[in-house]
Amino acid sequence: MGSKIVIVGAGYSGILTAKKLEKKFRKANNSDVSITIIDKNPFHTMLTELHEVAANRVDEESIKISLKKVFAGRNVDVKLDTIESIDFDNKLVIGNSQKYEYDYLVISAGSKPTDFGIKGVKENAFMLWSYEDAVVLRDHIHEMFRKASCETDIEEKKRLLTFHVIGAGFTGVEMVGELAEYVPFLCEKFEIDRDLVTLVNADGLSRTVPNLDEDLSRKVERRLNKMGVDLLLNNFVQEVGPDYVITKSGDNITKHITGTVIWAAGVEGADITNKVTADIEGAGRGRIKVDKYLRSVDKENVYVVGDNIFFICEGEERPVPQVVENAEQSAHTAANNLACAITGKGEMHEYVHKNHGFMVCVGGRYGVASVGGVNKKVKLPSFLAMFAKHFINIVYFVQVLGWNKIISYMKHEFFTIRNCRSFVGGHFSNRTPSFLLVPIRVWLGFVWLFEGVKKLLEGWMGAPKLEGFFGGASAWFNSILYPGSADAVSQATAAAADAAGAAADAVSAATGAAAGAAGGAQAAGVAIMNFDFIGLFNMILVSGKELAESGLADMAFKLDIPLMNWFVDNVILSSGSMQVFMQSFIVFAEILIGLALIGGLLTFPAAAFSIILQFMFVCTTGLYLNTFWMIFAGIAVLIGAGRTIGLDYYFMPWLKKKWKNIKFVKKLYLYND
């Protein structure tokens, strides 16, 4: 009988532990090891992004990750259940639905908000620690503004528009910052004067986000003040009522009238971890004492990861923090040690938490961060801090749901962002109706089809023409760049003869070379730019006429890349048969791109290949400037242009459905929701 591993909780640490264990045992061909992960929800929630949903910056679905998708194609059994207790003596995990036997147990149940026993918090405050919390709070905020817009009593209107966020740590600051950024849009929507809205961030601490350096805390506070947030620091909450908050600062007790209280003042272990500390040694607030290998100090077959750990690393004074970085690092250590315990192979690792810094967002546009190595941190300016935040999220998504989640995240955070609430503003947001791109898509397709058919009629499928095609263009450029050169003149004359009759969708090989030859030692035009970038490539811009007489149709641009030149000379022009093969490929490609763009079928690969072909022409023959519109048109229709008045409207949903059901695609997350 193989070993049974049961993981309680599918948070950050639970998911990563399960995935790492499954990968280890699959590689070692240990098929007799079973892994079961249990959670009360069928999805993993991005707890660090809850404030974005609560303040309506992103869609609620963006913070959910389906467990079924995470473990698709993997030997991990996902169970939907609420765990009530754990029988350590009989090795049983007891849930509402069933009991689960285990040989090894991983406790990764995470945390829940703690009210510290303060009167009225549970009954009157909104929590922010789950998907449901974020959705309920978002709807409540919207409802408060709706009610206030119809309220005639000015004092009641002000009360409805007063929001107290309790807690000035990461969660509290990010929530009040997000809300402050959202308020102006709500005021505009409901025609409410911004001065009627009151936002308060209260905490018993003397400064915001004490994990940060003091100067960064001050930056956060200045930003909050600028956004219209009142800071109520050194004030401990004594009671929360249905329409008030009572705080105490020293001997002064104050009652604050409010319409909404959002509680973000700390966390404790989940219900199940508070229960199990009656049987195994804990350290208060639902944390479990572990040894250096992340095993319970009482049960060697019980591993603990994430927020549930109570462990003080060597040389440290405080226990490891309850942050995502701790969840990721502890999952890696626990998975390694558990695999060693089961297989008897390898070496167990001691857990060493490495703090690479902290970052906090104040809305979607501003952030502060202190990041770096364990011993040295660098303070980042706002733009880089926000960039680092998104980059770290993407690194996590690579581990959890790969390509699929990365695309989804970027879509929600940048390409469909609401009200331009992003650190890059709305510059990447897709706000142009796609039907406006239909004419340029069809015209681009027609031009490609025309070029392909023209080459077909000119015999590109039968006789080699590329040598004259490329040579004529190069000679024309040389005759302008190096006027009077005997080599340039002779090359131009020879190339003109070779290229006679060859079609040129870039710089006209025959005409350009002939002009250079006819001018004898005189240049065929004028060189505008010839910039050598440290020997890697040359950027060349020339005109076939005097500059004052030139139009776009006379000016040609070329990227002269030595590596590309070598490839052309030694591969493409290596034989007549190779030339015909490449010519046939170009003809077929141009015709297929044209038909695909006209019909709006597989628009993305067609537009992408259109851009690639244009780049190839820029690097070999050069392009007249009046042809550059094709590059920009290809970029414009790259995403979504075939879904309006195009066959992709029907084909892409069908293809996506079929593609997602392929086993290896699900396993590697090679799809986009």
Per-residue pLDDT at 33 exceeds 80: yes
Write out pLDDT tens, residues 329-376.
Answer: 999 999 999 999 999 998 999 999 988 889 999 999 999 999 987 778
Q: What is the pLDDT of residue 524?
A: 55
Q: In whole angstroms, what is the distance from residue 543 CA to residue 510 CA?
A: 16
SS3 letters across 362-410: CCCCCEEEEEECCCCEEEECHHHHHHHHHHHHHHHHHHHCHHHHHHHHH
Tell me the helices (H) and strands (E) count for the chain, helix number first: 22, 29
3-class secondary-structure state, position 344? coil
Q: Which residues contact 41 (CB under 8 A, 6 or more apart)?
A: 10, 67, 80, 131
HSE (CB half, 13 Å, CA atoms) of 466?
24
Q: What is the pLDDT of residue 502?
A: 38
Task: Calculate mean pLDDT across residues 109-132.
Answer: 95
Query: If you search the block for the tokens 């026993």, which residue do you land on?
Result: 117
Q: What is the pLDDT of residue 515?
A: 35
What's the whole-model pTM score?
0.80
Write out pLDDT tens, residues 54-99.
Answer: 999 999 999 999 999 999 999 999 999 999 999 999 999 999 999 9
Are 318 and 386 spatial neighbours (Cβ–Cβ below 8 Å)? Answer: no
**Domains of the chain listed by start with CATH number:** 4-111+269-343 (3.50.50.100), 121-265 (3.50.50.100), 438-636 (no CATH)
Q: What is the pLDDT of residue 509?
A: 36
Write out pLDDT tens, residues 419-438.
Answer: 889 998 888 887 777 888 99
Task: Calculate mean pLDDT across residues 166-194.
Answer: 97
Strand partners of residue 244: 257
Q: What is the pLDDT of residue 485?
A: 60
Q: In whole angstroms, what is the distance from residue 551 CA to residue 544 CA?
A: 10
Q: Which residues contact 19 (CB under 8 A, 6 or more apart)?
A: 70, 71, 74, 76, 399, 400
Are 620 and 470 spatial neighbours (Cβ–Cβ below 8 Å)? Answer: yes
Confidence of residue 501 (pLDDT cuts 50, 70, 90): very low
Per-residue pLDDT at 507 exceeds 60: no
Per-residue pLDDT at 517 exceeds 50: no
Per-residue pLDDT at 129 exceeds 60: yes
What is the separation, in whole angstroms, between the first and last Cα of the chain? 39
Q: What DSSP assignment string belongs to 2-47?
A: --EEEEE--SHHHHHHHHHHHHHHHHTT-TT-EEEEEESSSEEE-G
Angle between helices 509-518 and 486-498 (to 10 degrees): 140
Edge-to-edge strands of the sheet including 229-232? 126-127, 260-263, 162-166, 198-202, 229-232
Strand partners of residue 558: 540
Tokens of 644: 């309006």
Per-residue pLDDT at 556 exceeds 70: yes
Q: What is the pLDDT of residue 143?
A: 97
